[in-house]
Structure 1
Amino acid sequence: MVSKRNEAPITVACIQMEPIFGETARNVATSVSMIEQAAAKGANLLVLPELCNTGYVFSSRDEAFTLAENIPDGHSSRAWIACAARLKIYLVAGITERDGESLYNSAVIIGPEGYIGRYRKVHLWGDEALFFEPGNLGFPVFKTRIGTIGCQICYDCWFPESFRMAALQGAEIVCVPTNWVPIPGQDASREAMANILVMAASHSNSIFIAAANRVGIEREQPFIGQSIITSYTGWPVAGPASEANAEIVVATVNLADAKRHRNWNDFNQVLKDRRPEVYNFSTLNNASIG
């Protein structure tokens, strides 16, 4: 008789920090210090916020280009690669990427043995469209020794297709570097809309999600914190963090549970119950959308 595999749990950390605009070396040093603190708590998969090496609110494309770096040869990537090797951790970090004459709002995925891959934000928010090209790599997943990792960035969370694409490719956890901002109509007594969306995506795809937001006010733009880690059930296992303080949110999870417990009952499994033959978007009149 063959016993069921019992995958070892991992400890996930979301690092909620406040980047200082334009001070890349200082921001990377701050991130490394907080990474070290999280690793001391046992974390072996860590997520940093969106564009955490440069800051977010650019005034011009030229300013963004000046601060951007190549992946994986730029200063920020090299510092994180060295940190991951030293601490034997996996890291997903938001970074301003330069590729030739193109700019991307990206995330770099790093492991103990070095650079693994990158993700480029598909859905650009607001003025990002003035500075960045839309992501052109789709929704890749990365198979690692600790599990299969997907990635989204901030506004990607508003599109159910983003998480579904990751889940269908076998992702067990999706890491989300983010810069969530206040949403119009938000009820101050309720959890942030971003948290609700992340919880729903975890539940409807049976995946873990780790979303690391930033805090502070940058060039008059406030950010709302509330970093969160959700279980494949949809319920938080750590966070939400505070709205204003730098802090580290940590949870120990078993990524294998995302697949092992995907059957909700004798009949229903959220990915197998899909009926793509009736999701015929070609019949929609695009003029009616919007």
Structure 2
Amino acid sequence: MGKKLYERELLRLQTELVAVQEWVRAEGVRLVVVFEGRDAAGKGGAIKRVAEHLNPRVARIVALPAPSERERGQWYFQRYVEQLPTAGEIVLFDRSWYNRAGVEHVMGFCGDKEYRRFLRQCPLFERMLVEDGMLLRKYWFSVSDAVQEERFRSRLEDPTRRWKLSPMDLESLTRWEAYSRAKDTMFAHTDIPESPWYVVESDDKRRARINMIAHLLSTLPYYEVPGPALTLPPRPPSTGYRRPPKASQTYVPDHPLPAT
């Protein structure tokens, strides 16, 4: 997708997302969007574009770290329940409870008993959320092995993005088929009518973002919420206030720019 077309359509869709935000606030909607997929599949970039123009007091991004010792002793879903939205909120999960069906299972961070329990409980958990009135949308970003490797190499060479890579990410290259089998099993158990999976082809990042946002909008019964009538008031006349001398305050200096 060309850059100009992408930017024009992205802005139009982001404007609609702002309308969704106001609808969520007005109607007390609880919206959860789950972003899953392989490493370097484009989840983070899509989340960034969804949230870019939204009010952070309404739309939260949740990207939980590894569980603490206390959290490992809890019911598996417990720490995710704490992050679910209240009325009038949107929560975007940058990875979610599905860690157990992917990374934890493939890398051996959970036992087979815990894994099987997750596959049984997850559909029940999600049905409970939906039955309680929560809007749950689940997106799987699908990337080819060649494009994933290309993106890994790009990150290795870019000092501003190298932090995105970890030894575990690189090991995923050698476990491609294991992750594929884990994803297939996960879909077989959790792609249910109440909360289906939507697959986003993401070798083309721009098209993936456009497709994902457009699809999300198409699944929501939102409407335009009229905003309050706002008028810029006239500035009142001066009452004699004078700013203190600049020398009395510490200013940030101009940063010297390299010669062109």
TM-score, normalization: structure 1?
0.30
Structure in which a larger fraction of residues adopt strand: 1
Say which structure is richer in helix.
2
- Larger gyration radius, structure 1 or structure 2: 2
